[in-house]
């Protein structure tokens, strides 16, 4: 019986596809971690007015009973490339809490 072998291109393609998928997932995750690290580094330093100047007005803002404020910024994109591997749809939600004096006290970044 004669043994049939596939060309090397056919046998390597699934492996390459796997690595491309892993790289794209990792690329998005590392970008989110960098942004989260940036905002965490701004805790105690950034002022609300400076953040608004950088990001624009928040989509939602609420003043809490203790005088602190929570503001949320949302960015959504459809069909843009966030990594070299693939184009995707994504939403990024940044929630920042500010002291009554307007200083950043807490940050939270979520991507989905």
Q: What is the pLDDT of residue 18?
A: 56
The C-alpha angle with vertex 71 and arms to 66 and 75, in degrees rounded to 5, equals 165
Q: Strand ranges (DSSP E) for the chain?
A: 60-63, 69-81, 87-98, 104-111
**Per-domain residue ranges of the chain:** 8-111
What backbone torsions phi and psi does residue 32 show, to the nearest 5 degrees?
-65, -40
Q: Along the 112 residues of the chain, how does pLDDT read in single tens digits?
A: 666 665 555 556 665 555 555 444 444 556 778 888 999 999 999 999 999 999 999 999 999 999 999 999 998 877 655 555 555 677 899 999 999 999 999 999 988 7
In CATH, the architecture of 8-111 is: 2-Layer Sandwich (3.30)
């Amino acid at each position: 019986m004669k043994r049939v072998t596939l060309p090397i291109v056919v046998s390597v393609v699934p492996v390459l596809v796997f690595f491309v998928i892993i790289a794209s997932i990792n690329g998005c995750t590392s970008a989110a971690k960098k942004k989260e690290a940036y905002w965490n580094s701004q805790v105690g330093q950034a002022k609300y007015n400076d953040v608004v100047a950088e990001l624009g007005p928040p989509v939602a803002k609420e003043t809490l009973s203790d005088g602190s404020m929570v503001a949320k910024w949302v960015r959504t994109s459809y069909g843009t490339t966030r990594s070299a591997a693939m184009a995707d749809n994504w939403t990024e939600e940044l929630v920042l809490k500010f002291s009554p004096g307007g200083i950043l006290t807490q940050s939270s970044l979520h991507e989905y």
